[in-house]
Structure 1
Amino acid sequence: MSLVLLGLGAFLLVLAPMLAWYVEPRAKRTPIDVDQITVFKGTGSYFDTEKIKTVTGQNLTITRQVRGDVADSDKSGRAIWDVSTSVDPDKSLPAADPHDSLQWSLERWVTDRKTNKPVHCCGEKPYFEGEAYLKFPFDVEKRTYLWWDSTLGATVPLSYQGKKKIQGYEGLRFTGTVKATKTGTRQVPGRLVKQPKRSQVMAEEWYANHGIELVADQRTGRIIFAAIGPRKTLRAPGGKKDATVLLDSERIAFTKKTQQSQVDLADDDSSRLKLVGETLPLVTVVLGGALAILGGVLVARGRENDSNGSGRDGEGPDSMGPHSDTSPNSLQPTTM
């Protein structure tokens, strides 16, 4: 039994660093079997194509659905997510067809499952760069990250702003803004850019963001809160001022329901990683050390008992001693 305890203790002591240095790092992989919906809500303005003008003070909803392409992810070894994003005023909700939405986009994101960096393969759309988008890397650091803004078509630096609790769960907060930037052109009626005498004009599309705020779970990189302030406008060719507002909101943020859902997922994933990387190794070290010490003590006692037993084997009235035939007295002759 003593050798069994000693061996088991040694095994647990070897297992502990393997859990911390081998198993946990391999558990930190972006999942591929995702299927989740996040919802943003806020108020703002948008261009109503029926009224042919910008309407203000409207409720706006952004719905994003992320689905992992498990088959292609398994083949490539990458995390491949198909992302559908729609922007709707109240009158287009619920949208039976995403094409009925005010704005709709379909993207395909391919990332390295370990680093979260983009991998340009497997039908990626659009081409993107940066360190964060739908999630941050594992073990988020307290520094500035480059976040990919699809509307801008470029990365935006998000600076670390301390910790923030979302639904009672603490995460790391990052913020940034986007200055007005030309992002493209589109053909529109001249009157939309204050050129009524021209039937069609190749107007400039401009984009800005009043404020981006993301709160990420430090261990998993999952975003537990997000808020954005998009502004999309049209300008006349070479114009210096916005002529028509297509979309504008100071702040559209995760709903309470989405916040709680993201917090629950982050808490569950983080707890699993902590169990493998911290709790189990610590318990294994303590238990392994205790068993090894106990086994060692029992082995030592067993050897001591064996030694004492060997020393008592020759004792008794017939053993070598002063009354034995080989004692000095027995060799002396008796005198009369």
Structure 2
Amino acid sequence: MRRTASPFSLIMLGLGTFLLVLAPMLAWYVEPRAAVNPIDIDTTAVYKGTGSVFDLEKVATVPDKTITVTQRVRGNVAESEKSGNAVWDVITTVDTDESLPAADPHDALDYQPHRWVLDRETTRPVHCCEEKPYIEGEAYLKFPFDVQKRDYRWWDNTLGGVVTMRYQGEKKIQGYTGYRFTASVPAAKTGTRLVPGRLVNLPDRPQVLAEEWYANHGIELVVDQATGRVLYAQTGPRRTLRAPGGTKDEAVLLDSRKIAFTTATQKEAVERAEEDSGRLRLVGQTLPIGAAVTGFVLALAGIVLVVRGRRHPDSSESSGSAVTM
């Protein structure tokens, strides 16, 4: 008698085949679609350091002041859904202890609102939706997903241009390993400002259109490899005024060797990076590998059971009755 395979073996074979098909789909289809920049972002990063700032009341540069930089990023959901991109509104304020706490960010020593529009998958700037300024480069507030060990073109908003961030190996932040990038910015003219002539060593002129110059002693960024999230940021801005056509700094508006993420900001960045990279790792590695291994085992077991379940008649047995005379 021929015996057919049991339903259980067929179920195992079917389930194993399904998991083998599901594994590459998770890795090649689902995971890339999970790696997208959010449209409802709402984060605040705080930097602290010491340096020299220009005191408007004293009309002079004052050294050894505590400097706090606050960067608030909020997603504009309505504009994001309309455009299909991530539209992020950013407010950056610079304060000293005298201007903190401030009920209104406009009361800060420096206040800069701007909008960054980025492709949700590649993180590259998109020029639409009343973007201001015209941001360029490969990264700004974050790096692309799946950060590589190479140099990246980073947008410096104070410079109004792109800076090459050079890969410098790995570095731990709050016990979490990220990729480290560094750069410096040579002095460059960034604009003009109407000021009293005496501020730029032109006492005979009541007002003058002084040149604004910017340099950076050093930028350091430590980035999560999977998500591109910045775990640690350090900057050393120097902003000065020069007389029109001048070759030397006449007044220092801001000068600090190091303004960096506070410990609280570092911990929050690491916590979010661990969560986000963990989700990407789950759908991109853990689940596909688990599905592939489980599917292979189930399919193999199902095939074995099906083969064993199909037993053919023995060829030595007689196929009919004997003929008698």
> Shorter-chain TM-score: which interval?
over 0.9
Match of 1:257 in 2: 264
Match of 1:139 in 2: 146
Q: Is the aligned partner of 1:268 residue 2:265?
A: no
User: Hey, which bits of structure 1, 4+ residues long, moved more than 6 A?
Assistant: 309-312
The one of 68, 78, 82 equivalent to 2:75 is 68
Deviations 1:227-283 (A, max 9, x none): 000110011111111111001100100000000100011111101001101110100
Question: Counterparts of 1:184 and 1:271 in 2: how far apart (Å)?
Answer: 44
The one of 1, 12, 15 equivalent to 1:5 is 12
User: Structure 1, unaligned stretches of length 5 or more?
Assistant: 332-336
User: Structure 2, unaligned stretches of length 5 or more?
Assistant: 1-7
Higher Cα radius of gyration: 1
Match of 1:161 in 2: 168
Question: Counterparts of 2:222 and 2:139 in 1: how far apart (Å)?
Answer: 12
Question: Counterparts of 2:198 and 2:167 in 1: how far apart (Å)?
Answer: 43
Question: Counterparts of 1:288 and 1:311 in 2: how far apart (Å)?
Answer: 39
SS in 2 for 1:249: strand
Question: Counterparts of 1:190 and 1:74 in 2: how far apart (Å)?
Answer: 49
Match of 2:131 in 1: 124
Match of 2:37 in 1: 30
Q: How far is 1:33 from its partner? A: 1.4
Percent of pairs identical after alignment? 63
Q: Is the aligned partner of 1:228 residue 2:229?
A: no
Q: How far is 1:311 from its partner? A: 8.7
Give the 5 Å matches for 1:1-336: 1-304=8-311, 307-308=312-313, 320=321, 326-327=323-324, 331=325
Deviations 1:39-90 (A, max 9, x none): 0000001111111111000000000111111121122110110101100000
Alpha-carbon RMSD = 1.5
SS in 1 for 2:299: helix
SS in 2 for 1:134: coil
* Alpha-carbon spacing, 1:13–1:192, altered in 2? closer, same or farther (3 Å): same
Question: Counterparts of 1:295 and 1:144 in 2: how far apart (Å)?
Answer: 50
Amino acid of the structure 2 residue aligned with 1:28: A
Question: Counterparts of 1:230 and 1:177 in 2: how far apart (Å)?
Answer: 10
* Alpha-carbon spacing, 1:6–1:310, altered in 2? closer, same or farther (3 Å): farther
Q: How far is 1:308 from its partner? A: 4.1
SS in 1 for 2:310: helix
SS in 2 for 1:283: helix
Q: How far is 1:320 from its partner? A: 3.1
Q: How far is 1:132 from its partner? A: 1.0
- The structure whose RCO (Cα within 8 Å, separation 6+) is larger is 2
Question: Counterparts of 1:12 and 1:74 in 2: how far apart (Å)?
Answer: 34
Number of residue pairs matched? 318
Deviations 1:115-142 (A, max 9, x none): 1111000111111100111000011111
| TM-score for the superposition, normalised by structure 1 | 0.92
